[in-house]
Structure 1
Amino acid sequence: MAVINANSEDLKLLARLIRAEAEGEGDLGMLMVGNVGVNRIRCNCLDFVGLRSVSDMVFQSPGGFEAPQKGYFYQRARSSEIRLARRCVNGERHWPATYALWFFRPTGDCPPTWFNQQLSGRYKSHCFYSPTYDDCPGVYYG
């Protein structure tokens, strides 16, 4: 059952985002990017107050993703990434992105904090950061 509202165009948009942000991280890495996106829509806290749709989340500016600024993002969504996007929309989450609202790809080790948020873990090249429950209870759904 879906945890956010998403039609077929939303799934394609999320699919393009997860591919553009994490294709080199494999299916699990792309699922984690999708987790972050879905978490941003669900949480209604911190930098993500008022995001109510996949489009709001993908094109948030400032504070959004870098992918929409790159040409690769605008390629057609592939069925394999659409299936991954659907899994995220249906609530499938993976550690360390389970409650994460941020991730980035450092040149070295993951810093223990990033923009005052705690490191939840690393998967391949990406470091994931999660808010505390007190700062953002909405991300701790389900």
Structure 2
Amino acid sequence: MAVIKTNANDRKLLARLIRAEAEGEGELGMLLVANVCVNRVRVGCLDFVDINSIERMVWQSPGGFEAVHFPYFYQRAREKEIRLAERAINGERHRPAEFALWFFRPEGPCPEQWWGQWNSGRYKEHCFYIPIESDCPDVYGVY
């Protein structure tokens, strides 16, 4: 059962984003990015108070995704990534992104904090960051 409302266009948009952000990190890397995306839509805290749809999450500015500025993002969604997006939309979560709201790709090791948020771990090239529970309890909720 879906943890956020979506339609076919939303799933394709999320699929395009996760591929553009993390294709080189394989299926798990794309699922981790999808976890962050779904979490941003689910919560009503911090920078994501008004981010209540996939479309708003993808196009959020400032604070959105760098990939939307490059042509690769604009290629059509592929079935493989659509299935990965659907898995995240249906509540599949993986560490270190299960409660993450941010990720980025540093040149070296993951900083302990990034913009005041704590590192929850690294997968290949991406570092994931979580809010403290008192700032965003929704992200830690069970669904």
Regarding TM over 0.5, the answer is yes
Q: Which residue is equivalent to 2:60?
A: 60
Aligned to 1:135: 135
State how far apart, in whole Å, the 1-side matches of 2:18 and 2:64 are.
Answer: 13
What's the CA shift for 1:132? 1.1
What aligned pairs does 1:1-142 form with structure 2 within 5 A after superposition?
1-142=1-142
For 1:43 and 1:52, the matched residues in 2 are separated by: 8
Q: Which TM-score applies when normalising by structure 2?
A: 0.98
Shift of 1:18: 0.2
Whole-angstrom CA distance in 2 between matches of 1:131 and 1:25 = 24
Q: CA deviation at 1:138?
A: 1.1
In structure 1, the gaps of 5 or more residues are none
Cα shift at 1:16:
0.2
SS of match in other structure, 2:68: helix
Q: How far is 1:105 from its partner?
A: 0.3
Aligned structure 1 segments of 4 or more residues deviating by more than 3 angstroms? none
CA shift, 1:141, in A, is 1.9
Letter in 1 for 2:87: R
Partner Cα distance (1:52, 1:109) in 2: 32
Q: Percent identity?
A: 67
- Cα-to-partner distance string for 1:85-113 (whole Å, 9 max, x where unaligned): 00000010000000000000000000000
Normalised to the residue count of structure 1, the TM-score between the two structures is 0.99
- 1:76 counterpart SS class: coil
Could you tell me how far apart the structure 2 residues matched to 1:137 and 1:27 are?
A: 28
Which residue identity lines up with residue 53 of structure 1 in the other structure? S
**Partner-residue secondary structure (3-state), 1:50:** coil
Amino acid at match of 1:58: V
CA shift, 1:29, in A, is: 0.3
Aligned length: 142
Q: CA deviation at 1:32?
A: 0.4
